[in-house]
Structure 1
Amino acid sequence: MTTISGGCQCGAVRYRVETELENPHLCHCRMCQKAAGNYFMPLASAPRGKVAITRGEPGWFRSSGIVRRGFCRDCGTPLFFDPVGEADIAVTLGSLDDPSRCKPVSEDSVESRVHFLAAWADTRQKVTEDDFSAAEIEAIRAGNRQHPDRDTDVWPMEGNRG
Protein backbone atom coordinates (compact mmCIF):
# COMPACT_ATOMS: atom_id res chain seq x y z
CA MET A 1 0.00 0.00 0.00
CA THR A 2 1.23 3.49 -0.85
CA THR A 3 1.57 5.90 2.05
CA ILE A 4 2.57 9.50 1.52
CA SER A 5 3.05 11.80 4.49
CA GLY A 6 3.39 15.52 4.86
CA GLY A 7 2.73 18.47 7.07
CA CYS A 8 3.40 22.07 7.85
CA GLN A 9 6.71 23.77 8.51
CA CYS A 10 6.39 23.77 12.30
CA GLY A 11 4.88 20.26 12.64
CA ALA A 12 1.63 21.28 14.33
CA VAL A 13 -0.40 19.77 11.44
CA ARG A 14 0.54 16.46 9.84
CA TYR A 15 -1.32 14.34 7.29
CA ARG A 16 -1.14 10.99 5.53
CA VAL A 17 -2.36 9.97 2.06
CA GLU A 18 -3.05 6.25 1.55
CA THR A 19 -2.79 6.22 -2.26
CA GLU A 20 -0.75 7.69 -5.07
CA LEU A 21 -1.47 11.33 -5.73
CA GLU A 22 -3.19 12.19 -9.02
CA ASN A 23 -2.83 15.09 -11.45
CA PRO A 24 0.25 16.76 -9.97
CA HIS A 25 0.28 20.25 -11.46
CA LEU A 26 1.28 23.84 -11.04
CA CYS A 27 -1.65 26.24 -10.80
CA HIS A 28 -0.90 29.79 -11.94
CA CYS A 29 -4.29 31.32 -11.10
CA ARG A 30 -4.10 34.49 -9.05
CA MET A 31 -5.96 32.94 -6.14
CA CYS A 32 -3.35 30.18 -5.89
CA GLN A 33 -0.57 32.75 -6.25
CA LYS A 34 -1.95 34.66 -3.28
CA ALA A 35 -2.60 31.53 -1.21
CA ALA A 36 0.95 30.29 -1.82
CA GLY A 37 2.63 33.69 -1.57
CA ASN A 38 4.41 32.55 -4.72
CA TYR A 39 4.11 32.62 -8.52
CA PHE A 40 2.17 29.35 -8.57
CA MET A 41 0.79 26.64 -6.29
CA PRO A 42 1.93 23.03 -6.78
CA LEU A 43 -0.95 20.63 -6.07
CA ALA A 44 -1.99 16.99 -6.47
CA SER A 45 -5.23 15.24 -5.59
CA ALA A 46 -6.41 12.12 -3.82
CA PRO A 47 -9.83 10.75 -2.92
CA ARG A 48 -11.06 12.51 0.22
CA GLY A 49 -11.33 9.24 2.15
CA LYS A 50 -7.65 8.45 1.52
CA VAL A 51 -6.40 11.64 3.21
CA ALA A 52 -6.19 11.70 7.01
CA ILE A 53 -5.02 14.42 9.39
CA THR A 54 -2.65 12.68 11.81
CA ARG A 55 -1.76 15.63 14.05
CA GLY A 56 -3.45 18.88 14.90
CA GLU A 57 -6.23 20.59 13.01
CA PRO A 58 -5.72 22.85 10.02
CA GLY A 59 -7.33 26.24 9.80
CA TRP A 60 -9.60 26.79 6.82
CA PHE A 61 -10.12 29.82 4.61
CA ARG A 62 -13.01 29.82 2.17
CA SER A 63 -11.18 31.41 -0.78
CA SER A 64 -14.25 31.17 -3.02
CA GLY A 65 -17.74 29.77 -2.99
CA ILE A 66 -16.46 26.41 -4.20
CA VAL A 67 -13.04 26.09 -2.56
CA ARG A 68 -11.63 26.25 0.93
CA ARG A 69 -7.92 26.16 1.66
CA GLY A 70 -6.37 24.42 4.64
CA PHE A 71 -3.31 25.81 6.38
CA CYS A 72 -1.42 25.63 9.66
CA ARG A 73 -2.71 28.25 12.10
CA ASP A 74 0.68 28.30 13.86
CA CYS A 75 3.16 28.74 10.99
CA GLY A 76 0.91 29.57 8.03
CA THR A 77 1.97 26.74 5.72
CA PRO A 78 -0.57 26.13 2.93
CA LEU A 79 -1.57 22.43 3.06
CA PHE A 80 -4.87 21.69 1.29
CA PHE A 81 -6.99 22.81 -1.64
CA ASP A 82 -10.48 21.53 -0.93
CA PRO A 83 -13.10 21.81 -3.68
CA VAL A 84 -16.18 21.69 -1.43
CA GLY A 85 -18.52 18.83 -2.25
CA GLU A 86 -16.12 17.10 -4.65
CA ALA A 87 -14.79 13.57 -4.22
CA ASP A 88 -11.12 14.60 -4.15
CA ILE A 89 -9.02 16.97 -2.06
CA ALA A 90 -5.61 18.30 -3.10
CA VAL A 91 -2.46 18.63 -1.04
CA THR A 92 0.31 21.13 -1.65
CA LEU A 93 3.32 19.35 -3.11
CA GLY A 94 5.77 21.44 -1.10
CA SER A 95 4.22 20.15 2.14
CA LEU A 96 5.03 16.51 1.28
CA ASP A 97 7.84 14.98 3.33
CA ASP A 98 9.40 14.04 -0.03
CA PRO A 99 8.24 16.64 -2.55
CA SER A 100 10.44 15.14 -5.27
CA ARG A 101 8.21 12.04 -5.47
CA CYS A 102 5.49 13.95 -7.29
CA LYS A 103 6.64 15.65 -10.51
CA PRO A 104 4.04 18.02 -12.02
CA VAL A 105 2.62 16.86 -15.34
CA SER A 106 0.84 20.09 -16.30
CA GLU A 107 0.55 23.80 -15.67
CA ASP A 108 -2.97 25.15 -15.14
CA SER A 109 -4.37 28.67 -15.60
CA VAL A 110 -1.39 29.66 -17.72
CA GLU A 111 -3.11 32.90 -18.74
CA SER A 112 -2.24 34.13 -15.24
CA ARG A 113 1.38 32.94 -15.31
CA VAL A 114 3.74 35.82 -14.50
CA HIS A 115 5.34 37.04 -17.71
CA PHE A 116 8.94 36.31 -16.72
CA LEU A 117 8.45 32.76 -15.47
CA ALA A 118 9.57 31.19 -18.75
CA ALA A 119 12.98 32.80 -18.20
CA TRP A 120 13.66 30.61 -15.18
CA ALA A 121 15.29 27.94 -17.36
CA ASP A 122 18.11 30.38 -18.14
CA THR A 123 18.68 31.64 -14.60
CA ARG A 124 21.52 30.54 -12.40
CA GLN A 125 20.68 27.68 -10.07
CA LYS A 126 22.00 28.63 -6.67
CA VAL A 127 23.29 25.90 -4.39
CA THR A 128 23.19 26.63 -0.65
CA GLU A 129 26.75 25.45 -0.13
CA ASP A 130 27.94 27.95 -2.77
CA ASP A 131 26.24 30.90 -1.05
CA PHE A 132 27.05 30.19 2.61
CA SER A 133 30.18 29.17 4.50
CA ALA A 134 30.28 25.87 6.40
CA ALA A 135 29.97 27.84 9.67
CA GLU A 136 26.88 29.69 8.41
CA ILE A 137 25.25 26.43 7.29
CA GLU A 138 25.93 24.85 10.69
CA ALA A 139 24.46 27.90 12.46
CA ILE A 140 21.31 27.59 10.32
CA ARG A 141 21.03 23.88 11.14
CA ALA A 142 21.59 24.44 14.86
CA GLY A 143 18.84 27.08 15.07
CA ASN A 144 16.37 25.33 12.76
CA ARG A 145 12.81 25.33 14.14
CA GLN A 146 11.28 23.58 11.16
CA HIS A 147 9.59 20.25 11.80
CA PRO A 148 11.53 17.37 10.20
CA ASP A 149 10.13 15.76 7.05
CA ARG A 150 8.80 12.75 8.93
CA ASP A 151 6.26 11.98 11.61
CA THR A 152 7.50 12.36 15.19
CA ASP A 153 6.21 10.72 18.37
CA VAL A 154 6.50 13.91 20.44
CA TRP A 155 5.29 17.40 19.65
CA PRO A 156 6.48 20.01 20.10
CA MET A 157 10.01 18.73 19.75
CA GLU A 158 12.50 19.87 22.40
CA GLY A 159 14.08 23.17 21.41
CA ASN A 160 11.26 23.87 18.93
CA ARG A 161 8.98 25.98 21.07
CA GLY A 162 9.44 29.30 19.30
Structure 2
Amino acid sequence: MLHASCNCGGVSFRILEPLTEPSVCHCTQCRKQSGHVFASANVPKTAIRFLNAETLRWFQASDKVRRGFCQRCGCWLFWEPLQKDWTSVALGAIDGDTGLKLDRHIFVAEKGDYYDITDSLPQNAH
Protein backbone atom coordinates (compact mmCIF):
# COMPACT_ATOMS: atom_id res chain seq x y z
CA MET A 1 0.00 0.00 0.00
CA LEU A 2 1.28 3.44 -0.93
CA HIS A 3 0.43 6.78 0.68
CA ALA A 4 0.17 9.97 -1.35
CA SER A 5 -0.69 13.61 -0.75
CA CYS A 6 -0.52 17.14 -2.05
CA ASN A 7 1.88 19.74 -0.60
CA CYS A 8 -0.56 21.17 1.94
CA GLY A 9 -2.25 17.91 3.03
CA GLY A 10 -5.68 19.01 1.84
CA VAL A 11 -5.71 15.85 -0.29
CA SER A 12 -4.25 12.62 1.01
CA PHE A 13 -4.98 9.08 -0.02
CA ARG A 14 -3.86 5.46 0.00
CA ILE A 15 -3.30 3.33 -3.07
CA LEU A 16 -4.47 -0.18 -2.23
CA GLU A 17 -3.35 -2.06 -5.37
CA PRO A 18 -0.11 -2.03 -7.36
CA LEU A 19 0.32 0.82 -9.80
CA THR A 20 0.89 -0.23 -13.42
CA GLU A 21 2.13 1.26 -16.66
CA PRO A 22 4.31 4.10 -15.32
CA SER A 23 4.86 6.61 -18.09
CA VAL A 24 5.96 10.14 -18.83
CA CYS A 25 3.46 12.21 -20.81
CA HIS A 26 4.71 14.96 -23.12
CA CYS A 27 1.31 16.22 -24.36
CA THR A 28 0.60 19.92 -24.52
CA GLN A 29 -1.93 19.82 -21.66
CA CYS A 30 0.42 17.95 -19.31
CA ARG A 31 3.30 20.30 -20.13
CA LYS A 32 1.15 23.39 -19.52
CA GLN A 33 -0.30 22.11 -16.27
CA SER A 34 2.88 20.66 -14.79
CA GLY A 35 5.41 23.07 -16.24
CA HIS A 36 7.25 20.28 -18.06
CA VAL A 37 6.11 16.63 -18.28
CA PHE A 38 3.82 14.43 -16.19
CA ALA A 39 4.99 11.11 -14.70
CA SER A 40 2.14 8.88 -13.60
CA ALA A 41 1.00 5.29 -13.20
CA ASN A 42 -2.41 3.68 -13.45
CA VAL A 43 -4.55 2.00 -10.83
CA PRO A 44 -8.23 0.97 -10.70
CA LYS A 45 -10.42 3.81 -9.40
CA THR A 46 -11.67 1.50 -6.66
CA ALA A 47 -8.09 1.11 -5.34
CA ILE A 48 -7.86 4.74 -4.17
CA ARG A 49 -8.99 5.46 -0.60
CA PHE A 50 -9.14 9.10 0.36
CA LEU A 51 -8.05 10.02 3.86
CA ASN A 52 -8.72 13.68 3.13
CA ALA A 53 -10.29 15.11 -0.02
CA GLU A 54 -11.30 18.47 1.42
CA THR A 55 -9.52 20.48 -1.26
CA LEU A 56 -9.69 18.01 -4.18
CA ARG A 57 -11.17 19.60 -7.29
CA TRP A 58 -11.59 18.30 -10.81
CA PHE A 59 -10.96 20.16 -14.06
CA GLN A 60 -12.81 18.84 -17.11
CA ALA A 61 -9.88 18.91 -19.56
CA SER A 62 -11.87 17.52 -22.50
CA ASP A 63 -15.03 15.57 -23.17
CA LYS A 64 -13.06 12.39 -22.38
CA VAL A 65 -10.82 13.19 -19.39
CA ARG A 66 -10.61 15.18 -16.19
CA ARG A 67 -7.66 16.21 -14.04
CA GLY A 68 -7.68 16.21 -10.24
CA PHE A 69 -5.78 18.80 -8.22
CA CYS A 70 -5.67 20.47 -4.82
CA GLN A 71 -7.43 23.81 -4.95
CA ARG A 72 -5.35 25.15 -2.03
CA CYS A 73 -1.76 24.37 -3.02
CA GLY A 74 -2.29 23.64 -6.73
CA CYS A 75 -0.71 20.17 -6.76
CA TRP A 76 -1.84 18.13 -9.72
CA LEU A 77 -2.63 14.62 -8.53
CA PHE A 78 -4.73 12.71 -11.06
CA TRP A 79 -5.50 12.27 -14.75
CA GLU A 80 -8.70 10.32 -15.23
CA PRO A 81 -10.48 9.08 -18.36
CA LEU A 82 -14.23 9.40 -17.80
CA GLN A 83 -15.27 6.20 -19.57
CA LYS A 84 -12.63 3.92 -18.01
CA ASP A 85 -12.37 2.23 -14.62
CA TRP A 86 -8.83 3.45 -13.86
CA THR A 87 -7.05 6.67 -12.99
CA SER A 88 -3.47 7.85 -13.39
CA VAL A 89 -1.80 8.96 -10.17
CA ALA A 90 1.02 11.50 -10.22
CA LEU A 91 4.16 9.65 -9.19
CA GLY A 92 5.45 12.82 -7.51
CA ALA A 93 2.47 12.79 -5.12
CA ILE A 94 3.54 9.49 -3.58
CA ASP A 95 5.13 9.83 -0.15
CA GLY A 96 8.37 7.85 -0.21
CA ASP A 97 9.58 5.29 -2.70
CA THR A 98 7.24 3.95 -5.37
CA GLY A 99 9.07 0.74 -6.25
CA LEU A 100 8.39 1.52 -9.94
CA LYS A 101 10.50 2.07 -13.01
CA LEU A 102 9.24 4.12 -15.94
CA ASP A 103 7.93 2.01 -18.81
CA ARG A 104 7.57 4.47 -21.71
CA HIS A 105 7.09 8.02 -22.98
CA ILE A 106 3.69 8.96 -24.41
CA PHE A 107 2.48 11.79 -26.65
CA VAL A 108 6.02 12.53 -27.79
CA ALA A 109 4.58 14.03 -31.00
CA GLU A 110 3.61 17.01 -28.79
CA LYS A 111 6.95 17.18 -26.95
CA GLY A 112 8.45 20.59 -26.28
CA ASP A 113 11.35 21.73 -28.43
CA TYR A 114 13.41 22.80 -25.41
CA TYR A 115 14.45 19.29 -24.32
CA ASP A 116 15.49 15.91 -25.68
CA ILE A 117 14.42 12.47 -24.54
CA THR A 118 17.73 10.73 -23.95
CA ASP A 119 16.81 7.44 -22.29
CA SER A 120 16.13 4.20 -24.16
CA LEU A 121 12.49 3.79 -23.14
CA PRO A 122 9.89 3.25 -25.89
CA GLN A 123 8.39 6.46 -27.28
CA ASN A 124 4.75 6.48 -28.37
CA ALA A 125 3.69 9.30 -30.67
CA HIS A 126 0.26 9.39 -28.93
Q: 1: distance between equivalents of 2:25 and 2:117?
A: 18
Q: 1: distance between equivalents of 2:115 and 2:23?
A: 15
Say if 1:55 and 1:103 are closer, same or farther in 2 by CA, change over 3 A.
same
SS in 1 for 2:29: helix
> Going by fraction, where is helix more abundant, 1 or 2?
1
Pick from 25, 28, 36: which aligns with 2:26? 28
Question: Could you tell me which residue of structure 1 aligns to residue 62 of structure 2?
Answer: 64
Structure 1 residue 47 corresponds to structure 2 residue 44: yes
Percent identity (aligned): 30
Pick from 68, 71, 74: which aligns with 1:73? 71
The count of aligned residue pairs is 118
TM-score for the superposition, normalised by structure 1:
0.68
> Going by fraction, where is strand more abundant, 1 or 2?
2
Larger Rg computed on CA atoms: 1
Q: 1:108-129: per-residue Cα shift (whole Å, max 9, x none)? A: 00111122322778xxxxxxxx
- Deviating beyond 6 angstroms after TM superposition, the runs of 4 or more aligned structure 1 residues are none
Structure 1 unaligned residues grouped into runs of 5+: 122-162
The Cα RMSD (Å) is: 1.7
SS in 1 for 2:8: coil
Say if 1:47 and 1:119 are closer, same or farther in 2 by CA, change over 3 A.
closer
AA in 1 matched with 2:95:
D
